[in-house]
């Protein structure tokens, strides 16, 4: 499963219900990834649902920031 986030403000620790079944679930996703550098995804399984939790990790904003000169000289 892959989380592809929208441009928005995210709570640094939030859970979303992504699957609900009327009976018991069988099987699991093979894993979970996210395109957000600062949030780690985790899947939480119960008998009849799957939740996606995004939790703020320890990646610093400075470690992935690109100075304006390196972003094709465009400043907005």
- Report pLDDT for 62: 77
Give percent above pLDDT 70 in the chain: 75
- Report pLDDT for 17: 92
Q: Which residues pair with 34 in a beta bridge?
A: 3
Give percent above pLDDT 90 in the chain: 30
- Looking up tokens 């907005």, which residue turns up? 76
Q: What angle do CA 43, 46, 48 make, to 5 degrees?
A: 115
- Report pLDDT for 73: 54
Reported as a pLDDT band with limits 50, 70 and 90, residue 21 is very high
Average pLDDT value for residue range 19-41? 88
Helix and strand tally (H, E) in the chain? Answer: 1, 5
Q: Name the burial class of residue 54, with classes exposed (0-12), middle (13-18) and buried (19+) by CB atoms within 10 angstroms of its CB.
A: buried
- Residue 65 to residues 13, 15, 31, 37, Cα–Cα distance (Å): 22, 27, 27, 11
Average pLDDT value for residue range 10-24? 84
């Amino acid at each position: 499963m892959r989380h592809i986030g929208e441009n928005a403000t995210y709570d640094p620790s939030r859970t979303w219900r992504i699957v609900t079944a009327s009976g018991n679930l069988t099987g699991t996703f093979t894993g979970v990834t996210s395109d957000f550098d600062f949030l780690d995804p985790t899947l939480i399984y119960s008998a009849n649902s799957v939740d996606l939790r995004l939790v703020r990790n320890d990646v610093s904003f400075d470690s992935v920031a690109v100075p304006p000169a390196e972003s094709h000289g465009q400043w907005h």
